[in-house]
Amino acid sequence: MRLNFRLGWHEFFAPDGYPFSLDHVEARDDTAGQVRFVSMLLPHPPARVVDLGSGNGRHARRLARLGYEVTAVDRFAQESTEYLACVAELDQLPLKDETFDGCISLYTSAGYGSNSMSSQFSEWLRVTRPAGTLVLDIANRGRRFRTAVDSFSSGRGFMWSVRVGGRRLQVNLALADRSATFFAFTYPEPRPHVLRKRLEECGWLVVDLYGDFDGSPLDRSTPRMIVRALRA
């Protein structure tokens, strides 16, 4: 059995990265329901929306089908005939000032690696028109230690994670094709008041906080932290 080590979020999310991919997440989650809720928080179509950390484009293409004009930004953005794909870093967008009516960043896509959340939030503000909307969805702080088991066509995966301070360290092991590959990376897992402070320091005014895509209020037990903010 071969043993491999891949460090950093970009190794995990790369097309040849961890085998339990966003396609598996899409099959598991109610992406259509998420998009329905997000569209209620955004300006009406045909508003211009940018999806920041768009992954396989599961939200971008559904928003495009609702009539939004969508740009999808990701280091691994996937081409589509339904939206404009843009390969870029989330704190260095090759996009003009005040272009978008709305920004979305879903399923914990902010603040990976050396990019601070604040440098990303400031950059997102730059490309949003005055009074434009941000919808940001990140995992609510769950248990300090978490584990999970994943199944995929070529094998199985295991996840262990621990929250340390305001960040989570995640380690995944993929057992497939006679190899064992470890992935390790960290991402921010702020408390709601810290997230609000970071957003407001960057010029976003937080107007609503939800605990899930059903519109339930945020509390300690809710799985998500979904923020609607306006460019102040």
> Using CB under 6 A as the criterion, which residues of the chain lie in contact with ligand SAM when the complex forms?
9, 13, 22, 25, 53-55, 58, 74-76, 89-90, 106-109, 112, 115
Distance CA 20, CA 189 (A): 21
CB of 191 to ligand SAM, least distance (A): 20
Measured CA to CA in angstroms, residue 16 lies from 13, 41, 76, 113, 167 at distances of 8, 34, 11, 19, 25
Nearer to ligand SAM, 53 or 211 (CB): 53
In this structure, what DSSP letter does residue 176 have?
A: E
Measured from each CB, the residue nearest to ligand SAM is 55
Distance CA 64, CA 49 (A): 9
Nearer to ligand SAM, 128 or 170 (CB): 170
CB of 58 to ligand SAM, least distance (A): 5
How deeply is 119 buried, as exposed, middle or buried, from its count of CB atoms within 10 A (0-12, 13-18, 19+)?
A: middle
CB of 118 to ligand SAM, least distance (A): 13
Nearer to ligand SAM, 37 or 205 (CB): 37
Measured CA to CA in angstroms, residue 178 lies from 45, 114, 181 at distances of 49, 33, 10
CB of 22 to ligand SAM, least distance (A): 4
Nearer to ligand SAM, 54 or 161 (CB): 54
- Cα 178 from chain centroid (whole Å): 31
